Chain A
Amino acid sequence: MVEITSPEFKANARLAMGDGQLQQALGHVRTNFINKRAEAKANLDEFDELRDSATAIKDHVLEHLDLYLEKYEEKVIASGGHVHWAATADDACKQILDICRSVGAKSVTKGKSMISEEIALNDALSAAGIEPVETDLGEYIIQLRGEHPSHIIAPAVHLNMDQVRDDFIKHHTHLPADRPLNEPETLLREARAILREKFLNADVGITGANFLIAETGTSVIVTNEGNGDLTQTLPKIHIVIASIEKIVPTLEDMSQIVRVLARSATGQDMSVYTTLSTGPRREDDPDGPEEYHVVLLDNGRSSMLGTEFQDMLRCIRCGACMNHCPVYHAIGGHAYGWVYPGPMGAVLSPSLIGVDKAGHLPNASTFCGRCEDVCPMHIPLPKMMRHWREREFEKHLSPMTQRASIRGWAWVAKRPFLYRMMASASARFLWLLGGVNHRIKSLPFAWGWTRHRDMPAPEGSTFMSQWRERQARDAGDL
C-alpha cells in the first residue's frame, strides 16, 4: 500500500502553501491547462453534445458492467490473450509477480498507470527483486526522487527544472557532472537515451488502459511520448493493468469519448498516440509481445455501484477537475495524501481507502463548482463531496467541537425568534468591529481566516430587517 497521509491533510496543506518552490511550479497549472482546454473546447462546435454522448455511454456500461466484462474477457481469450481477475490490490500484485516470475524477469518497463500507483506495484516488484522502470518522463523523474505523482496526467508538475537537473546529475553518474543541462530539451534527450536502453532490455512491459473495448477484446492507451508503445511492443510479455469500469462497448463508443479526453486534459484535439492492442504477436508478425495479459482490478469499485457514488465510475482520468480547482491550485497534489488528488480524488479516495482516512478531502472544497462545469463526463463532484461530508458526520468522524457547534447552530436555527435576535446582534457587533474600513483584522473563533487576511464586515443589519425597512419605505411611497 502507498503510504496514506490523507488524515494529516490539514498539516500537509499548510506546509504546501508555505512552500515557495511548489507555489512557483503550481503557477503553470493555474494558467496553461485552463487556457488550452478553453481553446480546444471553443474549436469544436459539438463539444458539449459529445460530453452528453460520452456520459450516456458510460452510464449504460455501468448498468450492464457484468455482461460487458464477460464479453470483453471472451474476446481477449479468443485473440490469444489471458485475463486475470483481481479483487484487491494485493491480488493484482501477486498475479503480476507470478507472470513476471514465469519468465524469470529481472527488469520491467512501465507505461504511465495510476492503477499501478493505486496497487503500489513498484514496491511489490522491488521486494521481489524485479527492477521497475517508469518510462513516462514525469514518472521517471519522480521515481528517481522516490516520490509519487502529484497530478494524474502530469506526475511531476510540482517540480521546477532546476530540481530535475539536480536529480539527473545525482543519478546519472556515468555522465560527466559538468555537462550542460540548462534546457528542458537537453534533460529530455538525456532521459530518452537512458530509457532507450531500458526499453530494449526489459523482460516484461506493463501499461495501464484508458479503455477496454468489449466488442473486440482490445485495450487502449492514450499517450504523447510513445513510451507506452515501446513498453508494450519490445518485451516478451505485455501486461495490461486496468480497473473494471474502463470498459466501453464498441470501437465507436471509444471514439466518442476520445474526442473529449485530450481536449479536457491537455487541450490537444487528439493525443499523439491512441494505441489499440488486441492479443499477442500473430503468425508472421515481426514484432510485438509473445504473451498478452490483462489484470482486471476491482479494489472497491464494485462497492460504489448502486450507491450515490456510482457516477464517479464514469471518470476517464483527464485531470480537468484538478486543473480548474482553486484548492488544488493552492496546495498541489501531494497534500491530498494518497494516489488521487483534486476533486476526483476527494470523491474517489474515501470510496477506496475509507472515509475515516480520507474524510478531510471532501471537506477541502469551497463548492465553487468549477470541477463539475469542466468534467467531460458530467460527474457531479460537489454533490458527491457533500455525500461524503454527511457520511463522515453520521459516522461520528468529525471532531467534537465541530459536531457540537453544528448541533448548537441547528438548535438556534429551529427557533426563528431567537435566531433573528442573535443574527441581528452579531451583524451589529461585526459592523462595529469593522470600523471605518469595514474590515475586521482579528476575530475570536475565526483566527484561521484573519491570520492571513482581513474579514469583510457585514452591513450592520440583517437581510430580514433590511427587507422590512424596504417594505415600509415602499408602502410609504405609494
Chain B
Amino acid sequence: MSQREEILSKVRAAIAPNGNHDERRKNLRTAAIAKADGIIPKLPESKKAIQARFEERAVKADATVVFSKPREVANNIAKYLREHNLPSAIRTGDDKRLKTLLRGYESLLEISHGRTYGDDMVGVSHALGGVAETGTLFMESGKDNPTTLNFLPETHIVVINADDIETSYENLLEKLRDKYGAGEMPRVLNMITGPSRSADIEQTLILGAHGPLRLHIIIVRK
C-alpha cells in the first residue's frame, strides 16, 4: 500500500468507517457556502470612509501613505526618494498602469524593468487592490509586478487605485476569482500589511527584517 493510501484509509477508518463517500462529498464547502457563512467585520460603506480607514490601518502597520492625482505619481515617488536620501533609480515590472503613470518623467526618475536579484534600492509595484479592514495590499506575481520587487529592495513603493480599495479580504478574493477563474490562482498572491519586522530579540519590535525597511503606498485618486 502506498503511503497515500495508508494515510487516507486511516483517516477514513477514523471519521467515516461506513460512510458513503459520494454522499459525504455533497457536504463539501464551496466558496458560495463559505461566503454565506462567513463573519465579515462591519465597516463604513462610503468610498471616502473606506479609503480613510485603509490609510489609518496601513499607517498603524507602519507604512506611509499619500493620496495622489495620476499625473503627480511620478513626482510623489521622486519626492519620497529625495526625502529619504535615496537615489532616483527605481525598478518596476511591465505593469501598463505604472508605465502610463510614469511616461514622460524619465528625466525625474531613472526607471529599469524586470525582476530584481537584490541589487536594486527601490522597487515600485502596482497592487491588485487593498483591504480597508487592516490596511492590507494584494499583490499578484507575474511579469507585470515580479514578486522579488516586493521583498528584496530596502524600499518598496506600491501604487494602488483608490477605487480598488475594498472593505474586506473577501471582496478582493472574489475579484481574483473573476480574473483567474474559479479554483485558479496566480502563482503567488502576497497580502502585505506594512514593512517587514521582527521582535525576536527581547520582543523589541524592529522594522526591516528580511524584507523592505520602508513601505510607501501611493493611492491614486482621479
Genuine A/B complex = yes
Contact between chains at A272 and B202 (CB < 8 Å): no
Contact between chains at A188 and B209 (CB < 8 Å): yes
Please report which residues of chain B, range 124-138, place their CB below 8 angstroms from some CB of chain A when the two chains form the complex: 133-136
Taken residue by residue from 159 to 194, chain B's Cβ proximity to chain A (1 for < 8 Å, 0 otherwise) reads as 000000000111001001100000111111111111
Contact between chains at A28 and B203 (CB < 8 Å): yes
Q: Does B48 contact A (CB under 8 A)?
A: no
Bound form: Cα–Cα A196–B134 in Å: 29
- Distance in angstroms from A332 CB to nearest chain B CB is 14
Which listed residue (A164, A199, A280, A296) contacts B187, Cβ 8 A?
A: A280
Given A215-B183, A249-B28, A288-B187, are A32 and B192 neighbors across the interface (CB < 8 Å)?
A: no
Contact between chains at B10 and A184 (CB < 8 Å): no
Bound form: Cα–Cα A288–B211 in Å: 16
Bound form: Cα–Cα A154–B198 in Å: 10
Contact between chains at B38 and A256 (CB < 8 Å): yes
Complex interface: chain B residues within 8 A of A227 (CB):
209-210
Of residues A70, A141, A259, which shows the largest number of chain B Cβ atoms within 10 Å of its Cβ? A259
Which listed residue (B3, B12, B196) contacts A225, Cβ 8 A?
A: B196
- Distance in angstroms from B26 CB to nearest chain A CB is 10
Given A188-B209, A215-B183, are A249 and B8 neighbors across the interface (CB < 8 Å)?
A: no
Q: Does A192 contact B (CB under 8 A)?
A: yes
Contact between chains at B188 and A296 (CB < 8 Å): no
Contact between chains at A137 and B209 (CB < 8 Å): yes
Bound form: Cα–Cα A196–B148 in Å: 13
Which listed residue (B31, B143, B187, B206) contacts A251, Cβ 8 A?
A: B31
Q: Does B142 contact A (CB under 8 A)?
A: yes
Tell which of A58-66, A424-432, A437-445, A470-478 binds the partner: A58-66
Bound form: Cα–Cα A227–B197 in Å: 10
Bound form: Cα–Cα A200–B29 in Å: 40
Taken residue by residue from 254 to 290, chain A's Cβ proximity to chain B (1 for < 8 Å, 0 otherwise) reads as 0110110000001011111111111111101111100
Given A71-B28, A244-B7, are A272 and B189 neighbors across the interface (CB < 8 Å)?
A: no
Contact between chains at B12 and A196 (CB < 8 Å): no
Contact between chains at B15 and A273 (CB < 8 Å): no
Q: Which residue of B lies closest to A223 (CB)?
A: B196
Interface of chain B, helix or strand or loop or mixed?
loop
Tell which of A7-15, A114-122, A302-310, A377-385 binds the partner: A302-310
Contact between chains at B202 and A28 (CB < 8 Å): yes
Complex interface: chain A residues within 8 A of B2 (CB):
85
Given A188-B206, A192-B210, A275-B188, are A270 and B28 neighbors across the interface (CB < 8 Å)?
A: no
Contact between chains at A53 and B37 (CB < 8 Å): yes
Q: Does A460 contact B (CB under 8 A)?
A: no
Q: Which residue of B lies closest to A86 (CB)?
A: B3
- Distance in angstroms from B27 CB to nearest chain A CB is 7
Complex interface: chain A residues within 8 A of B15 (CB):
62-66, 305-306
Tell which of B72-80, B82-90, B114-122 binds the partner: B114-122
Please give the number of chain B residues whose Cβ is less than 8 angstroms from any Cβ of chain A in the complex.
83
- Distance in angstroms from B98 CB to nearest chain A CB is 15
Contact between chains at B25 and A272 (CB < 8 Å): no
Contact between chains at A156 and B201 (CB < 8 Å): yes
Taken residue by residue from 43 to 65, chain A's Cβ proximity to chain B (1 for < 8 Å, 0 otherwise) reads as 01110011001001100101111
Which listed residue (A56, A224, A256, A279) contacts B198, Cβ 8 A?
A: A224
- Distance in angstroms from A187 CB to nearest chain B CB is 6
Q: Does B30 contact A (CB under 8 A)?
A: yes
Complex interface: chain B residues within 8 A of A277 (CB):
187-188
Bound form: Cα–Cα A49–B40 in Å: 10
Which listed residue (A266, A269, A302) contacts B134, Cβ 8 A?
A: A269
Taken residue by residue from 140 to 176, chain A's Cβ proximity to chain B (1 for < 8 Å, 0 otherwise) reads as 0100000000000011110111001000000000000
Q: Does B70 contact A (CB under 8 A)?
A: no
Contact between chains at B197 and A224 (CB < 8 Å): yes
Contact between chains at B39 and A226 (CB < 8 Å): no
Complex interface: chain A residues within 8 A of B183 (CB):
75, 215-216
Which listed residue (B3, B16, B21, B191) contacts A91, Cβ 8 A?
A: B3
Contact between chains at A286 and B202 (CB < 8 Å): no
Contact between chains at A87 and B61 (CB < 8 Å): no
Complex interface: chain A residues within 8 A of B12 (CB):
66
Q: Does A69 contact B (CB under 8 A)?
A: yes
Complex interface: chain B residues within 8 A of A63 (CB):
15-16
Taken residue by residue from 68 to 80, chain A's Cβ proximity to chain B (1 for < 8 Å, 0 otherwise) reads as 1111000100010
- Distance in angstroms from B212 CB to nearest chain A CB is 7
Contact between chains at A53 and B39 (CB < 8 Å): yes
Q: Does B57 contact A (CB under 8 A)?
A: yes
Bound form: Cα–Cα A203–B185 in Å: 25
Complex interface: chain A residues within 8 A of B191 (CB):
270, 273-276
Complex interface: chain A residues within 8 A of B106 (CB):
none
Q: Does B11 contact A (CB under 8 A)?
A: yes
Q: Does B24 contact A (CB under 8 A)?
A: yes
Please report which residues of chain A, range 194-237, place their CB below 8 angstroms from some CB of chain B when the two chains form the complex: 195-196, 199-200, 215-216, 218, 224-227, 229-230, 233-234
Complex interface: chain B residues within 8 A of A253 (CB):
29, 34, 38
- Distance in angstroms from B201 CB to nearest chain A CB is 4
Contact between chains at A273 and B211 (CB < 8 Å): yes
Q: Does A252 contact B (CB under 8 A)?
A: yes
Complex interface: chain A residues within 8 A of B8 (CB):
66, 69-70
Which listed residue (B143, B192, B195) contacts A285, Cβ 8 A?
A: B143
If A249-B34, A303-B14 are given as contacts, then 4 extra A-B residue pairs at C-beta distance below 8 Å, sorted by A number, are A161-B201, A229-B190, A249-B29, A270-B193
Contacts A/B (CB < 8 Å), 7 sampled: A63-B16, A91-B3, A155-B200, A255-B168, A273-B193, A276-B189, A302-B7
Interface residues of chain A, those whose CB is within 8 Å of chain B, are 25, 28, 32, 44-46, 49-50, 53, 56-57, 60, 62-71, 75, 79, 85-87, 91, 135-138, 141, 154-157, 159-161, 164, 184-185, 187-188, 192, 195-196, 199-200, 215-216, 218, 224-227, 229-230, 233-234, 244, 249-253, 255-256, 258-259, 266, 268-282, 284-288, 296, 298, 302-303, 305-307
User: Which 9 pairs show the lowest CB-CB distances between chains A and B?
Assistant: A226-B211, A225-B209, A138-B200, A306-B14, A305-B14, A252-B34, A226-B196, A249-B29, A302-B10
